[in-house]
Structure 1
């Protein structure tokens, strides 16, 4: 007796469709949460309430926004070395580069307000 070779493919296809449906449902729930947070209607997390990531922790801002290109230790990688950036640029110049980008570096619009100020001042101290 010969097995039908289509059955394993049909099972995989059904599992794939189920996975897409589940991911879509989860994504819709997350979309609502993101919209509420963007509108200011979402609840603040404990970290933000305690002030740990609300812009005062420049190292955390750097690690989540800059380290991928400039290295976790500021030593460079895809982006230039920032270990002595403060000896070349002021905090305002660094903030301008973060906001508008320069050369191959794109603007980092997700870093703004208190986070931008804290990050640019922290980097300007790197001499």
Structure 2
């Protein structure tokens, strides 16, 4: 029984650890058409990047988990400030945001998307 419980615990820890690492690069070609919806392709890309790299700490609904609530982060920080936090990390009351969680175009898309959350 103890061996099964230990195996279950280790397996769960491994899955959670890998999930927290983000998803990696998604280099697939995307249809840039809007299809009549209100969300742009860039916002959809930003949401996908967020889901892969940020949601394990900030929650899938932006309401925070280990990291702070981001539902209204655009009311507090500008796009450039958010981009700086994504690139360089930050220490706050809910722990530490590690640097480099996203970079380049991915970081810019997420910062732009989050800056609109007001």
Which is strand-richer, 1 or 2?
A: 2
TM-score above 0.5, yes or no: yes
In 2, distance between residues paired with 1:105 and 1:86? 17
Which is helix-richer, 1 or 2?
A: 1
- Superposition RMSD in Å: 2.1
The number of residues matched between the two structures is 79
Mapped pair 1:62 → 2:50: yes
Gaps of 5+ in 2: 1-25, 33-40
What is aligned with 2:72? 84
In 2, distance between residues paired with 1:101 and 1:93? 11
- Structure 1's consecutive aligned runs of 4 or more residues displaced over 4 angstroms after TM superposition are none
Gaps of 5+ in 1: 1-44
Q: TM-score with structure 2 length normalisation?
A: 0.61
Q: TM-score with structure 1 length normalisation?
A: 0.57
In 1, distance between residues paired with 2:80 and 2:47? 18
Mapped pair 1:117 → 2:114: no
Partner of 2:70, secondary structure, is: coil
| Larger Cα-atom Rg | 1
